[in-house]
Amino acid sequence: DARVTQTPRHKVTEMGQEVTMRCQPILGHNTVFWYRQTMMQGLELLAYFRNRAPLDDSGMPKDRFSAEMPDATLATLKIQPSEPRDSAVYFCASGLAKDRLVATNEKLFFGSGTQLSVL
């Protein structure tokens, strides 16, 4: 079965360190989403790509977070420098959007997430 692959599954790091999370979307999907999940905020949309172009990263703290898609098989989310408040589960999801007005025409496939702990 096709699936979204996220690495690493778990990451423990110290405050100030750089963290890079990777996502391999499903082949043929043209949209990639990054979400962050915490108990307090729920699922927050951080960034959204279509055809590898960033469309919306307004949910992301720009001073420390960056998201890229160097190619169609890889999406990355970087935090530099990391802070304890960044501790959360980060999910990547991919989907297929056929219309400009629609985020996704079909269901999203989620990865298993990266559990990040910043000490």
Partner 1 sequence: SQQGEEDPQALSIQEGENATMNCSYKTSINNLQWYRQNSGRGLVHLILIRSNEREKHSGRLRVTLDTSKKSSSLLITASRAADTASYFCATDGVRRGSTLGRLYFGRGTQLTVWP
What are the residues facing 76 on neighbouring strands?
Answer: 22, 68
Among 28, 62, 70, 107, indicate the residue that binds partner 1 (CB under 8 A).
107
Total chain residues near partner 1 (CB under 8 A): 28
Structure tokens at 71: 């190619």
- 56 belongs to the binding site for partner 1 (CB under 8 A): yes
Q: Does 65 bind partner 1 (CB under 8 A)?
A: no
In whole angstroms, how close is the CB of 7 to partner 1 at the nearest point? 13
Helix (H) or strand (E) holding 48: strand 42-50
- Nearer CB in complex with partner 1: 81/103: 103
d(CA 9, CA 23): 11
**CB 81 → partner 1: shortest distance, Å?**
27
For 105, the token pair is 């025409």
